[in-house]
Amino acid sequence: MKIAVKYFASMRDIMGKTDESVELNDDANITDLWAKVSTSTMPENTLIAVNMEYTSQAHKLVDGDEVAFFPPVTGG
């Protein structure tokens, strides 16, 4: 299956790109996707959205999904 991946803010700097298209097995989840796009561990508290809805690393993906990775948001 084909997944569109987008990186925002400091995640864009870490990955060195703003977006990419990734081919995965049909039973893949977010953890599998991260393993495919990165050689490092996902930063703690990374926010993940699939098709503009926040989700977890266990989320099962389907062909055509758009996944976005955001750094943790802080403020005060």
Within 10 angstroms of residue 7's Cβ, the number of other Cβ atoms is: 21
* Cα pseudo-dihedral 12, 17, 18, 21, rounded to 10: -130
Tell me the domain boundaries of the chain: 2-70
Q: What are phi and psi of 17, to 5 degrees?
A: -160, 165
In the block, residue with structure tokens 């989840």: 29
pLDDT of residue 53: 97
pLDDT at 43: 86
Confidence of residue 74 (pLDDT cuts 50, 70, 90): low
The per-residue pLDDT for range 8-59, each reduced to its tens digit, is 998 998 899 999 999 999 999 999 999 999 998 998 889 999 999 999 999 9
pLDDT for res 75: 61
What superfamily in CATH does domain 2-70 come from? Beta-grasp domain (3.10.20.30)
pLDDT for 9 equals 92
